Structure formats: structure tokens, C-alpha cells
Structure 1
Amino acid sequence: MAQPSQKSAPRSEPPGVPARRAALRLLDAVLRRGLALEQALDSAAKGLAPSDRGLAHAIAAETLRRLPDLDALIDSATQRPLPDDAKARFALRIALAQALGLGTPHHAAISTVLPLVDGGPRKLVHGVFGTLMRRDVAFPEVPALPDAIIERWQRHWGEAVVDAAAHAITAPPPLDLSLQRPIEIDGAESLAPGHLRLAPGTSVPELPGFEEGDWWVQDIAASIPARLIGAGQGNALDLCAAPGGKSLQLAAAGWNVTSVDVSESRLARLRENSARTRLPLHVIAADLLQWEPEAPADAVLLDAPCSATGIFRRHPDVLHRVRPSLIREMADLQSRLLARAAEWVRPGGTLVFSTCSLEPEEGEAQLEGFLASHSDYAVDAVRTEELPAAIVPRENGTLRLLPGTLAEAGGCDGFFIARLKRAG
């Protein structure tokens, strides 16, 4: 499919069409160019009103969440399969995702995508959509995962985890808050000290305690690395710190925190949350492969860049754009960052390494290689009493959170976490 552009859109389009055209650009960015959905949003939705921007994102996300199911439906109604990159297939995906997943009236779902194929097979798109609607089709109760994901995760973790992953993307995930101080919110439940969980779709700015800085949004799995460092009064480094939840946890626990990240734009959100919560952070924008701290720290947290396949519930684009080449690239970067971070821990200090990835190359294998080349480090075993209820460490003292973890309570993101102690 030729890359959609702002120039390709007419100057004035019927209401609803610009949002669908932006959704088309988003899908092209993810599926053809391998960009993250959030990374592509600003460009794809440039000039749109906030409501249309939100709609474009919702359509693209629902399409990616249900892509195998959408393609199976489309293929069932055509004499021969449409090419994967055909604009007609993209238009049908968008129309069907709205009609079957987002509750858009059928006439609106199809009328707003037909302009996307002007000069192309409008009759085909209209005909296939009409055929499927007359059949009264529906999505399967549990979404299908991409074949490559099934093969990879089944090989690594087994069929039960693959099944749990499919169930995990059926509905939006809940909203987790990390608390700076105790607060009560109607309808919330707590899975751990300093944590509240609310229903999906909760409006964040309207919650009590937002303006006062009593809490920040953070998946419960993402809160565990800083929990494992615990309270302290020394110096802590939070590396690859943005958007900042772990830095805020460390500061709230008494640490003097230096937060380092290569992305100045992502650090803007960290600074905003630091100001809102009134938790002081020393924020530095720097490339960790070039930067050096002035002195070793008592604790270092490296939540390393990764494929992010563990956050597929919130970001379904990772199911389609993450390929083995990216996993290898991220694993190589993690290895270099971990070696540098290890130099910045004082003797007797703590190093926590984590990734929000479901790929062993970015977790178990990474730790094995690090320990083989750093004899002054050993695993400081995670204890069950340090963790949210129903989460248990492995026998080797590390933590692996997989699809299915906390499923009855709404689930959590996928993570690998290891706490290491440097010899004194």
C-alpha cells in the first residue's frame, strides 16, 4: 500500500473521514514501517481536533487488537485473498473494527471509509462489508493472536501462557495507581501496599488526589522494580527513567534520585509528574552509553529499553511490529547498558534490572550473560513477602510476570525483574 500522506487527503472531507484517514496512516506506520502506535500518532493525526485524534487512535488500536480475526472475516467474503498491503484490505479492517468492536453504526462505519479508496475498488469494499453484515458476523469471544506470536511464545512459555495472552487482550486493562500517601477512592481495590486498582476507562484527572499529587498512574507490574529497592536515604540512579513512575516511587521512599533518559520529550512528562507530586528529582537528558555519574550510587535501577512485548494489552501494535531482528537489537543494547550500570553501583550496593518484555533474550538470557562476566555480582533473591499477593518469585530468586499473572484481579503487564547485589 502506498504510504498515506496529508497531501493525499482532500482539503474538505465529510465529517468522520479525517479520523478514519488518520487511522489508515497509523496502521500503515505500524504494519508497514514498524513504528510504535504512539510514536506515529502525532504525525498521522496532525491537525485533527482532540476528539478525532482520540477516535483515530481507538480505531487503529482496535484494528491491531483484532487483526487476525478481521483478516479471516475479509478472506471469507472474497473470491481470492486481497494482498496484505492492499488499501481495500486496510479500509475493510477499519470499517469492520468499528462495526464489530467499537459499536459504530454500520452505515457510518462503511460510509466514512469509502473515501479512503477513491479511485480504487470502492464497490469491492462496499460489497464485502455488506456481505459480512448480512451474515451477522461477530468477533470470536477470544481474539486470535498472530501466528508468529503464537509460535514464539508457545516455544518459550507453553500453550497455557499463549491462551492467557489471548484472553488478556479481550478487554481494556484496569487503571493502576501508585500512591505517595494513603487515599480512598470509591470502587478501587488494593493489590499491594501503596497501590489502588480502578476499572478500565476511569478518567484520571477527575480522580480525587490528582491535583494534590497523591498518586501517579503505573501498572502494578511496573511498580515492582522500585519496590524491590525499598526505602532508603542514600543516592539512587533511575536509568531510562521516563515517564518517571519508578523515579517517583524511589523519591517517595526517601532516596535522593537522579533520573536519566535519552528522550527529552519523554522527560517532559516526568518533570510534570515531579512537579504535581512535589517529589524532587534531579533530571538529566543524556545517552547512557556516553554519560557518567559523578560518583557511584547506593542503588541503581535499570528498566532497560526493550521490545515491550509485555505491554501488549495496552499497546497491541507490539504484536505485529516486533520481529526477531528488533529483539536481537534490543538485547544487544540492554547488554551494553547493563554493563555500564554495573560500574555505577558502590560496593555492597543494589542493582535492579528489569524489562517489560516477554522475550527470554531480553530477560533470562540477559541476566545469565551478565553474571558470567561480572563475578562481583550475585542475585539478591526476591522474597514473596515483598510482592503483591498472588505473585511469587522463581526458585532462582528472579521474577517473571507472564500473561495469566493476576488474571482474576484484572491481570498485569509482562516483566522480567532481577535484583542483584554487588560484593562489598
Structure 2
Amino acid sequence: HALRVALAGWLKLDTPPHAVVATALPLVEGGPRRLVHGVLGNLIRRPATLPPSPRLPAPFDVFWARDWGAAVAEAASAALAEEPATDLTLRDPAETEKWAQALDGISLAPGHVRTARKGSITEWPGFATGAWWVQDLAASLPARLLPAKAGDHVLDLCAAPGGKTLQLAARACRVTALDVSDHRLERVRENLARTGLSADLIAADALRWQPDGLFDHILIDAPCSATGIFRRHPDVLHLKGTTDLVPVTLLQAALLRRAASWLKPGGRLVYATCSLFPQEGERIAERVIAGLPREAITADELPAGLQPAAEGWVRTLPGQVP
């Protein structure tokens, strides 16, 4: 592990070799210090190079090629090589151009900025005044796809960490944000306070909780394997490689069935997961809402670079919006 840290510093972060050695050796004090010093010295003199692209760990190299094609699996491998840019959602979409310039970024949709800016996010322009919050572009899609307007009562189910709640609150919706973990809702409270937005936060189990009435719209960002967050958290691919999906898919189906009964006639329910397994996405929705009206998502509802599937749902995949 000390060698990996040293090689990442040298080959990816451009840390000078002498600093790499000086940083690595204290990590193995009392251990194989001479071995680490000798291996690093040999690699630096050679000099060592990284392969053109990392490889997806098994079994994802097989799963994703099977489910989405070899090009997607290759794009996922390439994504592991670089630190991803930071996506921001703006409190006021009318200020998109202003914040894109202030944060040295680009915009792929109203109310979105993508920036390669580094450093402490809390010191970036607009953070202290609550002008924006960090939220991946894909994570912002479910709330974007709700036709919620000011005054509509919207349920954000499994709401933490709260980006979607903030999106809906910024539209002046009456938002009920429910999550099983009150601890996770604390972060939502902090972001609501920073942005000056408001929502009704409830810590409860959605399978036991019962609302007082029906909702105009409902958003479910269901618990899942979280394999879709692998760009920012590559460790998920090592933690979830042999995970049994049956328990979580049963929970997802139960949540979707229960929430569908809380929707007013004519309202829209959006079901989403941050998983790249179709068993947690399309197949859940197809099974649970097979007998319910389904509204196809259209291209004009999506950010630049994304297209809906022929079936009317949206699947974001590695390589679509580099």
C-alpha cells in the first residue's frame, strides 16, 4: 500500500521522486523500509510508466460489457484514470452564465456548471452565499424530470444527502424529504440553511410511514449497490463485486409499489438508482409499474449529450458525457 501511494504521487500527481521517497518511507517505519526504498529507487531509475488505461476490476469488466457493450466497459476503464470534474447545481438557473464564468466552468443545462477547479470547495465563489451545491449531472436528472412547479407538494423519498430536495425547494415546491437515517438528514439541514431554502424533513422507514395525503409528484432515489458512483469512489467496485442484489431489489420494488399509491392522478413519479445494474433500474420499473401509465421521457427534457432509450426511460452510462 505504501508503494501504491508513492506511485500514485509520482506517476499521477507529478510529485518529484525525492519527495515521493521521503513521504513513503515513514509509512513503513519499523517495517520493510529498505525493501520499499529499493523498489522505489529501481522504478524511478527505470523509469516506470503506467499502462495506457486502467482495467475495471472483475466481475464488472464482464458485467458491464455484457449489459451495455464493450465500448461502455472501455469508457468506464478510461474514466478510472482521471479525477472527474465537479458538477454543481445552481439555486437560480437564470444565473447559469454568471456562475459558469465565475467558476471557470461550462454548462450542459440550465442551472448546471461543470468545473475542473481544484482546492477547497468551501472557498469557491458562491459557496458561502448558497448559490450552488455539489451534485453530479446524472444525480440531478430525476428532479429535473419532475414537472413540479411552485406550490406543488412533492415527496423526495430516500432523500439524503439532499441534492434533489434542494432542487425542488429552489422551485418553491412544498417538499417532504423522507429518509430512514436522521443522521444523514443532518447534511440536508445544513445545505438548506446555507442556501436559504426550506423543506419538511422526516426521519422514518418508508415501508412503515404513512403520509397524511397524496402528492402532486414523487421522486424515489432508491437504495442500491451504488456502482454508478465508481468515478468518484472507485473503492465501490471492490466492495460490491460479489454483492447479492436480491435483498436490495426486493426493497426497491417494495418502495416503488408503496410510493405509487401515494401519487395524485395525473402526477409524475420518477424512479432512479445510482446503479449500473439493470436489475436495479429498468427491470424493477418494468416489473412493478407494468400495469400503470408510463410517460416517456423526451430528449428536450435532458441535458446536452443525453438521449432517452426507445422505451422512454433514461440510462446514463460511462462515456456519454465525458
**Fold match by TM threshold 0.5:** yes
Partner of 1:391: 306
Match for residue 2 of structure 2 among 85, 88, 91? 91
Match of 1:313 in 2: 231
Deviations 1:154-190 (A, max 9, x none): 1111110011112222222222221222331323322
Which of the numbers 132, 151, 154 marks the counterpart of 1:215? 132
Cα distance in 2 for partners of 1:224, 1:261 equals 19
**% of aligned pairs identical?**
52
C-alpha contact (below 8 Å) 1:230/1:253 kept by paired residues: no
Q: Give how far 1:116 is off.
A: 4.5
Q: Is the 8 A contact 2:148 2:154 kept in 1?
A: no
Q: Say which of 226, 229, 236 aligns to 2:154.
A: 236
Further displaced range: 196-205 or 273-282:
196-205
**Displacement after TM superposition at 1:395 (Å):** 0.8
Change in Cα spacing, 1:163 to 1:347, as seen in structure 2 (3 Å) is same
Deviation at 1:120, TM superposition (A): 4.4
| Contact 2:155–2:217 (CA under 8 A) maintained in structure 1 | yes
Separation in 2, partners of 1:165, 1:229: 29
Match of 2:59 in 1: 148
CA distance in 1, matches of 2:119, 2:22: 31
Aligned residue in 1 for 2:284: 366
Matched, 1:164 2:75: yes
How much has 1:299 moved relative to structure 2? 0.9
Deviates more, 1:396-405 or 1:147-156: 147-156
Assess, with a 3 A threshold, how the Cα gap between structure 1 residues 264 and 127 changes in structure 2: closer, same or farther.
same
3-state secondary structure, aligned to 1:154: helix
Q: Which residue type is aligned with residue 383 of structure 1?
A: T
Letter aligned with residue 192 of structure 1: A
Q: Deviations over 1:203-231 (max 9, x none)?
A: 43333333332222211111110111123
Q: Secondary structure at the match of 1:331?
A: helix
Given the superposition, is the C-alpha separation of residues 135 and 328 from structure 1 closer, same or farther in structure 2, using an over 3 Å criterion?
farther
Displacement of 1:286 after TM fit?
1.6
Listed as ranges, the matches of 1:108-187 within 5 Å are 108-117=19-28, 120-181=31-92, 182-183=94-95, 184-185=98-99, 186=101, 187=104
1:105 alignment partner AA = P
Equivalent position SS for 1:325: coil
CA 1:214–1:311: 2 relative to 1, 3 Å: same
User: Structure 1 residues 255-264 or 165-174, which shifts more?
Assistant: 165-174
Separation of aligned partners in 2, 1:300 and 1:324:
32
Q: 1:116 to 1:178 in 2, by over 3 A?
A: closer
Partner of 2:185: 267
- The offset of 1:280, in angstroms, is 1.1
Instruction: Show the counterpart of 2:196.
Output: 278
| Superimposed CA distance per residue, residues 376-404 of structure 1 (whole angstroms, 9 cap, x where no aligned partner) | x2321001111112211011110000001
**Structure 2 residue aligned with 1:226, among 143, 146, 149?**
143
User: Structure 2 stretches of 5 or more lacking a match?
Assistant: none
* 1:347 and 2:258 correspond: no
Match of 2:13 among 78, 94, 102: 102
The alpha carbon displacement at 1:200 in A equals 4.2
Question: In the alignment, which residue of structure 2 is the partner of 1:35?
Answer: none
Q: 1:133 to 1:250 in 2, by over 3 A?
A: same
Query: Partner of 1:171: helix, strand, or coil?
Result: coil
Deviations 1:292-317, CA, capped at 9 Å, x for gaps? 22222111100011111111111111
1:178, 1:217 within 8 Å by CA — same for their partners in 2?
yes
Which SS does the other structure have where 1:125 is aligned? Answer: helix
Deviation for aligned residue 1:360: 0.9
Is the counterpart of residue 201 in structure 1 residue 118 in structure 2? yes
Query: CA offsets per residue over residues 102-137 of structure 1, 9 Å max, x none?
Result: 333334434444454455444433333322222200
Distance 1:202 1:327, change over 3 A: farther
Q: Give me the whole-angstrom Cα distance separating, in 2, the residues matched to 1:202 and 1:326.
A: 38
Q: Distance in 2 between the 1:298 and 1:178 partners?
A: 23
User: Following the alignment from structure 1 to structure 2, what is the Cα–Cα distance between the partners of residues 202 and 99?
Assistant: 20
Residue aligned with 2:245, SS = helix
Q: What count of residue pairs does the alignment treat as equivalent?
A: 315
The superposition leaves residues 358-389 of structure 1 with CA deviations (integer Å, 9 ceiling, x where unpaired) of: 111111221122124xx2x2321001111112
Distance apart, 1:138 and its partner CA: 1.7
Distance 1:318 1:237 in 2: 28
1:136 and 1:329, CA in 2 relative to 1: closer, same or farther beyond 3 A?
farther
SS at match of 2:4: helix
Q: TM-score of the superposition, structure 1-length normalised?
A: 0.70
